[in-house]
C-alpha cells in the first residue's frame, strides 16, 4: 500500500472514531442505557471499512492450434440493495420481480420472494443475497432487464458480484495434464506448474461493509489495479489427444486393466502432442486420476533392452549377427533362474534374433559375460544415456529414477543380469520414451516439452524449445545397428502383428511382472515404445497398460495394438508422411514406343535401332524413363542393398533379375510388363520375403 493510500485510510479511521464517539455521547445525553458493552462494536461493525483483495483474471491455456483448453468464465452472485430504488419504482415493480425470481431460482414461492424484498426494504438492508446460485453472463444480461433491476445499481439496487470459474471446453480431455489449482495454491499439471504465469497479480480496493454482512467496493481512485495472467500455448494436438485417449480406453476396457498410459512426441522438436493417463475406479470406470507418464515409476521390462544393447555395442566387442546360445530358455544365475517367454527356448541364435524375440536369457548372459566383473562400466553407459537422472520436465511431480549401484546394500550377483532385461530398476514412461526418441532423432536426446510459449494476447513473452540433454547417446555405428534391431522387432519379432505395408514402425515390446510386497506376482506391466515411420522418423510414442486380465498379458498383444491404432490415425492425417504416388508414364501415340524402365544399355540399344532420340542424365545401370521434347530421357532407378527396388515398368526378365538378386522370392501374375508390386519401394528387405508382381 503506498503512502497516499495509507494517509487516506488513517483519515477514514479517525473520522469513524470521531463519529462513534459522537454517537456515544448522544446516546448518553438521552439516557439510553446499553445492557452490554458490545453494542458499540455492533455500531462500529455496521460502518466499518476494509482493504480487500481483487482477484486477477487467470490466463488461458491453449492447444497447439489455438483451441481453448482452459479459461476463466465470469459468473455472478446476485444481491440487492433495498435502499436504492425510489418508493414509486419499488412499489410498481416488486410484484413482477418476485414472479421472475421465483420462476428462475425455484426455491421460494412468488409470495415468499415478495415478502423477502419488502422486509429488506423496511429494514433498509443494503446487501441482501437473493440466492446462493451463481448466474452466467447471459443470464446476468437478462436479469438486468427485470423490474426494479432495470434501473441499474444506483437506482434499482441490483448488485452483481463477479466470480471467475475455471472452464474446460473439452471437459475431461487431457484433464491431468492441463491440471488444476486449488485455493491453497496446491494442484497438478500445467495449471499448477505455470501458476505464477497464469495467475497474474491481484489488486486491492477499499470496501465498505453493508448491513447484512456484504461488502461493497468504493472505488475511490486509490485502488491497486489487477494484472491479468499470461496465456500459455501448449504442444498438445487436441485431435491426437482425443485419438490417444480413445484408443487407450478401448484397450483398458477390453483387458479390464488397472490403468494405462499413452504419450506421443514429435521426434525432432520434443513436443508432446498427446498424453493420456487413465485409471480404473471401484465402479469400473476410467478417468484421469494421476499423471503416471510423468510421475509413475515402474520396472520397464524388455523396453530397457534398448539401453542394454547400447551398452553392449559401445562397450563390448560384439556384432548383432554374432551367435548367442540361449539353450532351452532357462539359465541359472547364482540361486536365481532367468527364463525366456517361449517354452523350449530359442537354442543358438544371432544377437539380432535374440533382441527380436526378446530373449531374457541372451541379454542376461551377454551383460554378465561382458560387464559382470565391472558392473560400474555398464552403469556408466546407462548414465551416459541420461536414464539415471530426471528429465527436468515442465510439469512438476516428475518421478526420480531408481537404479541400483554395486555399493548399495541390496546389490547382489543377480542384480546385473536382471537389470539387463529391465528388472531391479525403476524409470518413468517419459524417460523410456525420451530414450527411444533419441534413437529416432539421430542419437540426440532432448527433453520433452509441454508448453511452447507464454503470451500476452499476440505478444510472445517467453518461447520454449526442447533443450538437448545428450548430444549423442551412442556412436553412429551403434545407432545404425539399433535401428535395424528395432525395425526387426516389428517386421520379424514380437511385434510383427503391427507390421504393415504403408509405413514402417520400429520399436520394442515389454512385459514385466509387478512387484508387490517384495514378491513378483502374476500381474504384468505391458508396454510398447517406438517411433514411425522407421525410415524417416517423425513421431515417437509409448504405451503402458498395467495388469491386463485374461490370457493376453504381453506387450505384443496388449500395448502394441494401441500404438498402431494411434500411429495409423496420425499417418492417415499427415500427408507429409505419405510417399508420393508415382505418375503413370503414358506413351505418346505415334511418337514413342512404350519404354518405361529397365537396363540402360538394353534400352539405349533399342532406341538407337528404332531411331528414337534419347539422352541420359545418369551413369546408373538401371533407369526409368522420362520425356524431353521429342526425346527419351534416362533417369536413375537406384537399386539399394536391403531395400525393396522399384521394378514397375520393367520387363519380366529384368524384374526377376533385380528382385531375386535382392534376396526376394518372386511370384508372378499376368503377362507383359510389371504394373504393380506387392512390397512398397524402399522397404527394408528380409531375405526370403515373397513379393508378388502383376504384369499387364
Instruction: Reduce the DSSP state of residue 549 to 3 states and report it.
Output: coil
The beta-carbon contacts of 414-418 under 8 Å, at least 24 apart in sequence, are 414/333, 414/334, 414/335, 414/336, 415/375, 416/367, 416/368, 416/371, 416/372, 416/375, 416/378, 417/333, 417/338, 417/364, 417/365, 417/367, 417/368, 418/336, 418/338, 418/364
C-alpha 201/C-alpha 179 separation (Å) is: 20
- Specify the DSSP element, H or E, that contains 290: none
Concatenated DSSP letters of 180-223 = EE-TTS-EEHHHHHTHHHHH-B-EEEEEEEPTTS-EEE---S-P
Q: Give the model's pLDDT for residue 373.
A: 92
For residue 528, pLDDT over 80 is answered with yes
In the predicted model, what is the mean pLDDT of the chain? 86
User: What would the pLDDT profile of 58-73 be if each residue is shown by its tens digit?
Assistant: 899 999 988 989 988 8
pLDDT digits (tens, 9 = 90+) for 85-140: 999 999 999 999 999 999 999 999 999 999 999 999 999 898 889 998 999 889 99
State pLDDT tens for residues 306-358. Answer: 999 999 999 998 999 999 999 999 999 888 889 988 888 899 999 999 999 99
State residue 26's pLDDT score.
42
pLDDT tens digits along 615-646? 887 888 888 887 777 788 888 888 888 888 89
Is 381 in contact with 311 (CB distance < 8 Å)?
A: yes
Q: What is the tens place of the pLDDT at every residue in 364-395?
A: 999 999 999 999 999 999 999 999 999 999 99
Note the pLDDT tens digit of each residue in 534-569: 989 999 999 999 999 977 777 888 999 999 999 999
- Residues 361, 329 contacting (CB under 8 angstroms): yes
What pLDDT digit, counting tens, does each position of 220-271 carry? 666 777 788 899 999 999 999 999 999 999 999 999 999 999 999 999 999 9
Question: pTM of the entire structure?
Answer: 0.73
How many angstroms separate the CA atoms of 2 and 347, rounded? 83
Average pLDDT over residues 516-522: 84
Q: Residue 452, CB half-sphere, CA atoms under 13 Å: how many?
A: 17
Cβ–Cβ < 8 Å for 568, 243: no
pLDDT at 147 over 90: yes
Amino acid at each position: 500500500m503506498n503512502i497516499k493510500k495509507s494517509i487516506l485510510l488513517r483519515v477514514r479511521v479517525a473520522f469513524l472514531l470521531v463519529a462513534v464517539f459522537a454517537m456515544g455521547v448522544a446516546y448518553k445525553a438521552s439516557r439510553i442505557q446499553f445492557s452490554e458493552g458490545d453494542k458499540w462494536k455492533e455500531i462500529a461493525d455496521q460502518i466499518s471499512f476494509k482493504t480487500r483483495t481483487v482477484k486477477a483474471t487467470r490466463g488461458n491455456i491453449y492447444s497447439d492450434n489455438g483451441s481453448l483448453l482452459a479459461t476463466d468464465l465470469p459468473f455472478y452472485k446476485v444481491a440487492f440493495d433495498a435502499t436504492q430504488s425510489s418508493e414509486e419504482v419499488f412499489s410498481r415493480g416488486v410484484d413482477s420481480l418476485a414472479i421472475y425470481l421465483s420462476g428462475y431460482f425455484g426455491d421460494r414461492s412468488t409470495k415468499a420472494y415478495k415478502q423477502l424484498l419488502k422486509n429488506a426494504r423496511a429494514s433498509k438492508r443494503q446487501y441482501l443475497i437473493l440466492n446462493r446460485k451463481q448466474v452466467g453472463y447471459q443470464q446476468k444480461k437478462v436479469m438486468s432487464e427485470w423490474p426494479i433491476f432495470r434501473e441499474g445499481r444506483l437506482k434499482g439496487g441490483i448488485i452483481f458480484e463477479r466470480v471467475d470459474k475455471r472452464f474446460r471446453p473439452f471437459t475431461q480431455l487431457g484433464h491431468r495434464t492441463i491440471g488444476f489449482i486449488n485455493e491453497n495454491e496446491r494442484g497438478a499439471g500445467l495449471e499448477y506448474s505455470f501458476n505464477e504465469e497464469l495467475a497474474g497479480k491481484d489488486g486491492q480496493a477499499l470496501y465498505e461493509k453493508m448491513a447484512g454482512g456484504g461488502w461493497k467496493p468504493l472505488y475511490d481512485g486509490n485502488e491497486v489495479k489487477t494484472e491479468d495472467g499470461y496465456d500459455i500455448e501448449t504442444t498438445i494436438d487436441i485431435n491426437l489427444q482425443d485419438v490417444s485417449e480413445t484408443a487407450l480406453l478401448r484397450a483398458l476396457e477390453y483387458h479390464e486393466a488397472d490403468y494405462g498410459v499413452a504419450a506421443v512426441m514429435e521426434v525432432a522438436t520434443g513436443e508432446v502432442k498427446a498424453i493420456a493417463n487413465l485409471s480404473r475406479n471401484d465402479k469400473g470406470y476410467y478417468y484421469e486420476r494421476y499423471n503416471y507418464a510423468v510421475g509413475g515409476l515402474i520396472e520397464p521390462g524388455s523396453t530397457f533392452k534398448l539401453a542394454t544393447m547400447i551398452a553392449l555395442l559401445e562397450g563390448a566387442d560384439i556384432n548383432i549377427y554374432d551367435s548367442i546360445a540361449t539353450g532351452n530358455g532357462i539359465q541359472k544365475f547364482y540361486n536365481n533362474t532367468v527364463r525366456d517367454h517361449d517354452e523350449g527356448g530359442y537354442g543358438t541364435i544371432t544377437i539380432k534374433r535374440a533382441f527380436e524375440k526378446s530373449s531374457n536369457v541372451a541379454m542376461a548372459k551377454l551383460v554378465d559375460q561382458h560387464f559382470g566383473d565391472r558392473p560400474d562400466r555398464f552403469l556408466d553407459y546407462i548414465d551416459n544415456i541420461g536414464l539415471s537422472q530426471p528429465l527436468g520436465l515442465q510439469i512438476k511431480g516428475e518421478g526420480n529414477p531408481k537404479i541400483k549401484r554395486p555399493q548399495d546394500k541390496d546389490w547382489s550377483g543377480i542384480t546385473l543380469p536382471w537389470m539387463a532385461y529391465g528388472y531391479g530398476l525403476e524409470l518413468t514412461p517419459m524417460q523410456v520414451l525420451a530414450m527411444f526418441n533419441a534413437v529416432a532423432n539421430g542419437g540426440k536426446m532432448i527433453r520433452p516439452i509441454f508448453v511452447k510459449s507464454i503470451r500476452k494476447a499476440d505478444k510472445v513473452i517467453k518461447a520454449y524449445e526442447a533443450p538437448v540433454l545428450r548430444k549423442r547417446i551412442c556412436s553412429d555405428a551403434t545407432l545404425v545397428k539399433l535401428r535395424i534391431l528395432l525395425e526387426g522387432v516389428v517386421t520379424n519379432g514380437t511385434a510383427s502383428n503391427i507390421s504393415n505395408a504403408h509405413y514402417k514402425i520400429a520399436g520394442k515390446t515389454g512385459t514385466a511382472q509387478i512387484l508387490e510386497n517384495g514378491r513378483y506376482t502374476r500381474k504384468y506391466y505391458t508396454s510398447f515404445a517406438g517411433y514411425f515411420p522407421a525410415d524417416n522418423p517423425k513421431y515417437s510414442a509409448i504405451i503402458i497398460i498395467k495388469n491386463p486380465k485374461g490370457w493376453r498379458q504381453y506387450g505384443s498383444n496388449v500395448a502394441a495394438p494401441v500404438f498402431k491404432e494411434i500411429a495409423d490415425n496420425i499417418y492417415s492425417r499427415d500427408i507429409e508422411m505419405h510417399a508420393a504416388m508415382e505418375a503413370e508414364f503414358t506413351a505418346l501415340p505415334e511418337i514413342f514406343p512404350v519404354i518405361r524402365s529397365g537396363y540402360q544399355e538394353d534400352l539405349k540399344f533399342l532406341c538407337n535401332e528404332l531411331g528414337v532420340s534419347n539422352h541420359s542424365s545418369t551413369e546408373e545401370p538401371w533407369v526409368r524413363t522420362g520425356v524431353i521434347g521429342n526425346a527419351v530421357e534416362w533417369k536413375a532407378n537406384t537399386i539399394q542393398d536391403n531395400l525393396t527396388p522399384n521394378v514397375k515398368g520393367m520387363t519380366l526378365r529384368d524384374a526377376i533379375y533385380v528382385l531375386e538378386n535382392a534376396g526376394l522370392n518372386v511370384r508372378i501374375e499376368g503377362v507383359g510388363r510389371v504394373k504393380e508390386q506387392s512390397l512398397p519401394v524402399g522397404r527394408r528387405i528380409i531375405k526370403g520375403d515373397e513379393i508378388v508382381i502383376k504384369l499387364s
